[in-house]
Structure formats: structure tokens, C-alpha cells
Structure 1
Amino acid sequence: MSYIGLDIGTSGCKAVVFDKDGVELASSYREYTVLRPHESWAELDSEDVLHKCFDVIKEVNSRVSKPVVALGISSQGEAFTPVGAKGKIIGKAMVSSDSRAVDLIPEFTESFGEEKLYSITGHTPHPLNTLFKLIWVKQNQPKVWKEARYFLCFEDLLHLKLGIQPQISWPMAGRTMLFDVIKHGWSEEILSAIGLNKSRLAKPVPSGQVVGKIDETIAKDLGFKKEVAVVSGGHDQTVAALGAGIVNPGSCMYATGTVECFCPILSKPAFSEQLRKNNLCCYDYSIEGNYTTVAYSLTGGNILKWVRNELGFEEKQQAETLNGNAYSYLLERMPDEPTRLLVLPYFSATGTPYFDTKAKGAIIGLQHGTTKGEITKALLEGVALEMKLNLQLMEKSGMCIDTFVATGGGTKNDAWTQLKADVLNKKVIVRNVDEVGCYGAALLAQSAVTGVPIKGLIKSYNTSDKVFQPDPEKAKKYEKKFESYERLYPALKQFWGINS
């Protein structure tokens, strides 16, 4: 028997099949385009997304001999699709980065109460939330609002297209800002405030629960050889954290990609005034009974892409000549010691804790002797210091984190991972699992149909895992640098927009 983990992302979808021991048997990926018809808009054609999801499922089924018996889904958060009569899609899906609803936030928040909103949903107002996007649809697309039988996130939309009554995992529901994360149901008070009946939303269920079986005709068309159970998954960050082995309090995923993100497992809900003021949310984790928060830098690993594009001409030529990797050549230039530079890594909006969409980046301390390698390392230090700022806020609110498990493309470079360990002054583990999002979804599927608890399925860290311990001397230097870093944002904020 085998299990499919399907990851429905913002720019593409991937299906991976794993056997009962977590060995990858086949994978398939398809890209789709984020549509930007107007400034501040960012949409997906949901029909195209579903078509690509079916494509990757068909492809992996054609390449495995062990029959797939269960499917788990990891999905991007917040994006929803209006669905009309007989399952017809009647509008595009607004993804997280779509900010067209930003001007609707103050009026609703003032009327409803920001603190009350936080106490119910565990989130602070932001244009990425489904709540404000739905208000925008109601005000600007009244025909869609009236005709929609459902408003579905991609997890539950796929259920519908597989012939199953749509159900949404608690972590996914938690990202909508319509969900009571303590009572685990749609908030009647919030829904009433926007005039939406809960019958137009999917039924909330815990992660790791069988929600139905794929319709026999659809299953045959997708290449399944046996009856297939569909299992509730979750928000992509929580499912990826599960796939990375985050199953015990004290551990936290450190994802490095387009965005850098922390996703810990918490044994109980974490609500506090400090967390609210710093936009650190609280919602369900992908193991029932546990919670999480998400802290992130939107600039993240993209800062290295900027170095490659703007300063890496020589490294790109070298990569073309030697069939190598320009990023690796850039990282090889980094000095071993902490740099003399201080970077504010806001090359895009800030993410947590500030949610500042007007922020700008800065490099402080440039001299004639400054090298490209030093600039490269300083930029990565800046992102790591920003994540340390988030960690400090998390720990001050009572979250104890002693170990990070690093995932994403950045883990392929040991120097970059060691830098993170030194800046955070925490142990960082790199697991021998590449597709943690799909693996987490497949683990949920396997656990649901076999009855084996998740912790029993996840194997102990083995000898192929890498462990990075912080260097005590470098950690001291970064602690001193962090004291300066904390003062940088308030000091420079006054100069933003000076040329606008």
C-alpha cells in the first residue's frame, strides 16, 4: 500500500507517493500562473489549479506499483473560490498576497472590535485574511456573492471535485479569520457581521480525519487501483512542520524559501496582548489538540536571489561555464566570521511582527574594503536577525523553543544553516526528507487509515540528518549585533517615503 501527499501551493501543485516506511516512490509537479489584472490584485484560476492537481495525481499513479489507498492535502491558506450551483466555479481565487481589501479593514475592525476579533480567531486584521476578501466580494461583486453556493478554500474545493461533501481542516479554517479556534466552529458572531450563513462554508474537522472516499468514476479516471480515502490535511505551514518531524513541544520548523517562516508546535493556545500587538497569530496545528503560531519574513530567501541578480554576474557566468550553481558560488565567498555590516532586510513588506507594507531595506557600514561576500553574508544575517526578533517575542510570551528543524532550499548550504544556528543560538537540524509538505500530508493519510498515531509513524532522526550546534563565540557576537538590530527599524522608519 502507498499514500499520496498533495501540496496545493500558490505557484504550483505537487503530488508525492510514499510507501508505509516513508520512502518516496514517485512525484509530479505542475506550475500555474498568478494573475494580476489590477494593482494589488493576485488571483488564481481555480479551474486551472484543479486541472493541474488532477494531472499530478494521474502522473504519480501511473508510476507506482503499490496501490494508493489514501490521499492527504496540504494547501495554501486564505485563498477561497466561489462555487455556484452544481459545483460550477464562478470566480477566481484571491491568494494571500492579494491586498485589494486593505481599505475595508479599518471600518469592520472598528465596528466589530480588534481585541474581540483576536480573542475569537487568534489573528490580527490583515488584507490576506479571507474575512476581508469576502467583504470585498460582497461589496464589489454582488452577483457572485448572491449566486455562490459555497466559498471554499483549495483543500475543501478539491473534496467537492472528488465527489465528496467539502470539509475543511481546523488549521485551514483557522487561516480564514472566520473560525473560532477555541470552540472549533465557524464564528456565528463574525459570520453574522458580514451576512454569511455557515451552510455556505465547508464543515470544519480536525486534521487527520477521513472525510470520504473518492467517487468511483473519478478515481478510475485518476488512475487509482483501489478504493481511496481522502483525509483532512491542513494549512501548508502546519503540514510541512509535521513532515519535518515537529511533533513535540519545544521544536519548531524553520522554513527557508521565498519566505522564511517559523512554525512551532504548542501544547495549548497562546494568546497574549504582546502576541496580538506583534501580529503573532494562534491557530490549530496539524495534530489534534495542539496549536501553532506563524512568524515570518516576507523578504526571506528572496534576498539571496536579489544578490544573484544584481551583484552575481561573475557567479552566473561561472555557473554557465561549469554547469554549476550561482547561489553556491556566491555563498562560497562569505567570510567565516560575523560581518561588520548591519542589514535591515525589508526588500518587501515586513511580515511579522510589524506588518509594515511601506518598509524599506538598508545596509549599514559599507566601506571601500567591503567585499561582495561580506554583503551576501550580511544580507542573510539580516533575515536571521529578523527571525531572532520574532523568536524573542515568542519566548517572552511563554513559548519554549530549543530546537529548530530547517526545511527548504536553503538547507542545501551548510554555511547558511550554520549562520542561522549561530544567530539564533539554537540547535538546528536538517532532516533527510526533501518534500516535507507532501510527506506531512501523506503521514496524516496513513495515520487515518491505519490507526497508527502520527508519532508512531515518524521515525527518529537518523544518522543521515545533519545537526548544527551554535558556535559559542559567534553566538556572543551576534547577540551584541542583535542589540543594534533591535534599534534599527525605529530609527530608520522616519526616512521611508522621503522621495515619494
Structure 2
Amino acid sequence: MSCFMGIDAGTSGIKAIVIDENGTVRGSGYHECDVLNPRPGWAEQAPQMWWETCCQAVKKAVEQSGCGKEIAGIGFSGQMQGTVFIDKEHRSISNCMIWLDQRSTEQVMEIEQLISDEEALQATANTCLNSFWAPKILWAKKYWPDVYEKIDKVIFTKDYLRLRMTGEVATEVSDASLSFLLDVAKRKWSDEMFQRLDIPKSFAPKCVESCDVAGYLLESVAKDWGLTAGIPVVAGGGDQPAGGVGTGIVKPGVVGATIGTSGVVFGCTDKPLIDHKKRALMTMAHSVPDKWCYLGLVLTAGGSFKWVRDNIFAEKKAEFAVQGKDIYDYMTAQAAKAKPGCEGLTFLPYFNGEKTPISDEKARAVFFGLSSRHNSGDLCRSVMEGVTFALRDTIEICREFGMEVNEVRANGGGAKSDLWLQIQADIYNANVVTMNMEEGPAAGGAIMAAVGCGTFGSVPEACEHILKVEKVVEPIRENVKLYDDYYDTYRELYPALKEIYSKQDQKVKKYL
């Protein structure tokens, strides 16, 4: 029986899984990655670190699977909007400005002077955000001239890993959709956008569909990993479209919610969804041919819970590590003891600014309503609730567009916690469903590999064969009303703080 590998190049780490054509997970491996924050608002990672981490994760997955020579193809998922500059020798020439990076706000403002919002929506289906390629490239042109002069191509995170695996430079339509340089409706690079922004079209790599074969595994890499040289490596997709494939969100009417380092609400459409309000709702070509998708992004979702782990529970984390226990299980157990709503303790998860719907890089995290009655369990639960309120913002935009949201497919770390699943069901007022594949993005990569290798004729066919509903969590009616009340409070906090955020940002820069 043929097997397929999916590699998910996430922000917090890289995951590799091996599945067979029936969807059974035969092996998995994971290794963490670090994010560098050299200045406030900056977020970088070293591409070489990705490669080393990827090698470790893949070797573990292959060893665990025991079927390295049966792996017929490899597919990808990867953190989106990362900007990797490579030279003519295919070497990275700087750290990658990842999606969390906020440094190019000045360039977004310049772009908005050149291109109106309506023109941008017509050309790219999106309004410009400082996480996109275009403003980051223009920032490098101004502030990293030595780097800019060496650029031959710009690629995304997963594309760098594929380059190291195959020697071929390429990207694909889902990731490219958030470059601000792709005609999303036509699924090809926009000559107009390159010209108007004065960015060389030569920077753009070949752009293919997600399930297209983009190269073949090099002999040296195959030998190191215990695989067969020359097996096809498909283009893969951005982590959200790939996660959509891995959870079966491949047709309209199904919505997904992912709580990883970031948080995302994701859905599929038959044509590009255009939001004429500036709420950072992003529209992309899906990893499914002839389908499009949209997402709303919470910058720091599971990352907020990780911050609590590393700062409030640091000693307990070290103690549990020695004992081989999971500190997250302990934190969740503490949160479960707190009351829904935490007696008014409300958390804004804006550690590194926020995207949907406020799009404000100056926003920062807040615990509101903290009293002497609250304890560490309340802090944990309020973070879970605050992140879920932030995701609900996008679900409300979906409802505004006339979509019924009665089922939400959960993915990421938030899908592994029964408590967080219930909190999501209560706050969304919708059934929350988990699928048999825990790691949606990596599973999506493997499914795309199976399609690219010809084992299945299409992505929907592969999803129907491989994916099954595992659990359904229904909302608790009395909690729905309670959370509706506290969601109103959550929605009132950012407008009240917006000007203060801006003033505080100026003070921080003044004293750096």
C-alpha cells in the first residue's frame, strides 16, 4: 500500500506525518522552532533553522512509520506570508520576516497612496496588510539595500523547504494569494501590481496549483531521510488552505476554526469573497482547483496560552518536563475549575498587534476586570475565552455575508482540549466538530501528495475517502447567553483603547 508524507512548516515547529491511502497515520515527528524578536514589532526566523528542524521531524516520522520506502510522494503545508529572499545560488540572504512581523506599516501607507482600496480589491481581492510580501519587499528596498540588491527570487516558508528537497524554485496559488502581487481571481501573477509598486517581476517564482508536482526528491536528501530518490514532491499549500483540505473544508457551507500559534476562521467559496470594509478578511485561491477561500486571522491565539505557560507557569513547566507530564493538561485542568466568563475577567490576545477585524499593529494584550478573587485558573480560562471571542469576530463577518454557521470544524491545539472545544461551541453558538486527522495542515499536505501522485482523482474525492467526523460538541444554552453578554464587553474594549494604544506606541519608540 502506498504511503504519503505531509510536512507542516508551522511557526512554533515543523510537523511531519506519514499516512497510507486509507488515512491511517503510520508515523509522525515534530520539532520546535524559535521566533526572533530583534525589535518591537519585528518577528523573524532563520530558513536554515527550518531545514534542520524539518530533517529532524521527517526522520522521526519515517522511523516511526517503518515504511520509508513505501512513501510515494510528499506534500506541504506552511505558515503563510513569510518573506524569504534567495539569491541566484538559491541561498537565503537574510532571516525571514514571518507573518507576525509588523515593521512595514510605513510601506502599507505608501501603497495606499498609490492604489485605492477598490483598485486593490479588483486587482488582488485583498486590501494591503503589513504581513504581505509587497510592503515587506518595499521595506527591504529602503532599509535593507544590501539584501535587496542580492534578491533573485522571493518565496514562502514551505517553498524554501521544497527547494532544499528538490533543487527547484516554485510557489503555488494559495500562498501567493497573500503576496498582494497575485491576481487571485485569475490565479496568476498580476503584471499590473508589479508595475505599479515598482517591484521587479523577476522576483516572482513559477506559480502552480497546490497539487501539481513541483519537483522530485534529491538523492542526497532521500538517502539521509530513508526515502526513495526521485519521488514526486507536490507544491502544497499555505497552512490554512492545507488545513482546509486536511479537515474537509473543500466546498462551500463548512467553516473551520484553527487554534495554533495564530488563530484562524477559514471557509471555502465558489468565487473570491470580497469584503469592502477594511477588516483584514483575507481572500485566497484554495488548494482545491477552481475553488477560493477566505480567512480571518488572530495573530496570537495558542501563542497567548503559550505565553501564560512560559511566564506564569514557568516553574511548573520545568517540574512537569522532568516528570514527563504535559503542562498544558495541568493548565487546562485549572481553567476548568473557573466559572464560564471568569466573573468578568476578559482577555484581549493582542501580544503582537491584531489582524481581523481591527488590523492594528499597535494593539497589545490586556487582562480587563482582574480582581483579588481571580487566580491562575481564571487567567488560563480567560485566555481561552478571549482567543475564542477574537475568532468569533470573523464568524460574525461570515454571518453578515449571509452564511449560516451551524458547524465549525476545529483544528490545531484548540481541538485537543475538551474544555476549549466546549468554550468554542458556546461562544460560536454552533456545533464544534473534530475530524479523525488531528493535524489538519500536515494531513492536507499528505492528501495533496496523494492527489498529485494520481492515487485519487481530486482533492474532494481524497477527502471523502480519508476523512471522518470523530466528535461533535454542542453548545450549552445557558453558556451561550452568558458568553453573548461578555462578547459585547470584549467588542467594546478595543475601540475604548485604540487611541491609548497609539499614544503608548509613540512613547515606547521614544524610549527605545
Cα distance in 1 for residues equivalent to 2:235 and 2:314: 46
- What amino acid maps onto 2:115 in structure 1? F
- What amino acid maps onto 2:431 in structure 1? K
- Tell me what 1:468 maps to: 473
- What amino acid maps onto 1:472 in structure 2? R
1:152-209, Cα deviation, whole Å (9 max, x unpaired): 2233333433345422111011121111101211111121134334333211111111
Maintained 8 Å contact 2:127/2:280: yes
Deviation at 1:112, TM superposition (A): 2.6
Q: How does 1:114-263 map to 2 (within 5 A)?
A: 114-216=117-219, 218-225=221-228, 227-263=230-266
- What amino acid maps onto 1:423 in structure 2? I
TM-score, normalised to structure 2, is: 0.87
Cα 1:368/1:2, change in 2 over 3 Å: closer
- What amino acid maps onto 2:395 in structure 1? L
Cα 1:203/1:462, change in 2 over 3 Å: closer
Mean Cα displacement is larger for which, 3-12 or 166-175?
A: 3-12
Counting matched residue pairs gives: 497
1:402-455, Cα deviation, whole Å (9 max, x unpaired): 211111222232222111111111110122322222111000000121243222
1:118-154, Cα deviation, whole Å (9 max, x unpaired): 3222222222111111112222333433333222223
Cα distance in 2 for residues equivalent to 1:68 and 1:466: 29
Cα 1:489/1:344, change in 2 over 3 Å: farther
Residues 1:421 and 2:425 are matched in the alignment? yes
- Tell me what 2:493 maps to: 488
Residues 1:83 and 2:96 are matched in the alignment? no
- Tell me what 1:16 maps to: 17
Maintained 8 Å contact 1:29/1:56: yes
Three-state SS of the structure 2 residue aligned to 1:340 is helix
- Tell me what 1:479 maps to: 484
Mean Cα displacement is larger for which, 323-332 or 206-215?
A: 323-332
Three-state SS of the structure 1 residue aligned to 2:269 is coil
Three-state SS of the structure 2 residue aligned to 1:196 is coil
Mean Cα displacement is larger for which, 257-266 or 128-137?
A: 257-266
Cα distance in 2 for residues equivalent to 1:256 and 1:91: 29
- What amino acid maps onto 1:113 in structure 2? S
1:291-327, Cα deviation, whole Å (9 max, x unpaired): 2222132242344445556665897699688956421
Mean Cα displacement is larger for which, 402-411 or 438-447?
A: 402-411
- Tell me what 1:385 maps to: 389
Mean Cα displacement is larger for which, 476-485 or 404-413?
A: 476-485
Maintained 8 Å contact 2:245/2:463: no
Deviation at 1:261, TM superposition (A): 1.5
- Unmatched tracts of structure 2, length 5 or more: 508-512
Cα distance in 1 for residues equivalent to 2:428 and 2:5: 35
- What amino acid maps onto 2:461 in structure 1? G
Cα 1:56/1:489, change in 2 over 3 Å: closer
Cα 1:110/1:359, change in 2 over 3 Å: same
Mean Cα displacement is larger for which, 84-93 or 321-330?
A: 321-330
Cα 1:321/1:101, change in 2 over 3 Å: closer
- Tell me what 1:296 maps to: 297
Cα 1:299/1:58, change in 2 over 3 Å: closer
Cα 1:73/1:307, change in 2 over 3 Å: closer
Cα 1:321/1:404, change in 2 over 3 Å: same
Maintained 8 Å contact 1:250/1:402: no
Query: Could you tell me the percent identity over the aligned residues?
Result: 27
Residues 1:442 and 2:442 are matched in the alignment? no
- Tell me what 2:271 maps to: 268
Three-state SS of the structure 1 residue aligned to 2:123 is helix
Cα distance in 2 for residues equivalent to 1:247 and 1:86: 37
Mean Cα displacement is larger for which, 367-376 or 17-26?
A: 367-376
Three-state SS of the structure 1 residue aligned to 2:214 is strand
Cα distance in 1 for residues equivalent to 2:380 and 2:89: 53
- What amino acid maps onto 1:205 in structure 2? V
Deviation at 1:4, TM superposition (A): 0.9
Three-state SS of the structure 1 residue aligned to 2:139 is helix
1:279-298, Cα deviation, whole Å (9 max, x unpaired): 11111122112222221322
Residues 1:408 and 2:422 are matched in the alignment? no
Deviation at 1:230, TM superposition (A): 1.2
Maintained 8 Å contact 1:3/1:18: yes
RMSD: 3.0
Cα distance in 2 for residues equivalent to 1:414 and 1:289: 35
Cα distance in 1 for residues equivalent to 2:119 and 2:151: 28
Three-state SS of the structure 1 residue aligned to 2:89 is helix
Cα distance in 1 for residues equivalent to 2:9 and 2:485: 41
Q: How does 1:304-383 map to 2 (within 5 A)?
A: 304-308=305-309, 323=325, 325=327, 326-335=330-339, 337-341=340-344, 343-348=346-351, 349-366=353-370, 369-370=373-374, 373-383=377-387
Deviation at 1:213, TM superposition (A): 2.4
Three-state SS of the structure 1 residue aligned to 2:297 is strand
1:28-86, Cα deviation, whole Å (9 max, x unpaired): 23344434444443333223323433444445445533521111011121223222233
Cα distance in 2 for residues equivalent to 1:111 and 1:372: 49
Three-state SS of the structure 2 residue aligned to 1:52 is helix
Cα distance in 1 for residues equivalent to 2:350 and 2:114: 34
- What amino acid maps onto 2:170 in structure 1? Q
TM-score, normalised to structure 1, is: 0.89
- Tell me what 1:280 maps to: 281
Maintained 8 Å contact 2:14/2:32: yes
- What amino acid maps onto 1:384 in structure 2? T
Maintained 8 Å contact 1:299/1:345: no
- Unmatched tracts of structure 1, length 5 or more: none
Deviation at 1:345, TM superposition (A): 1.2
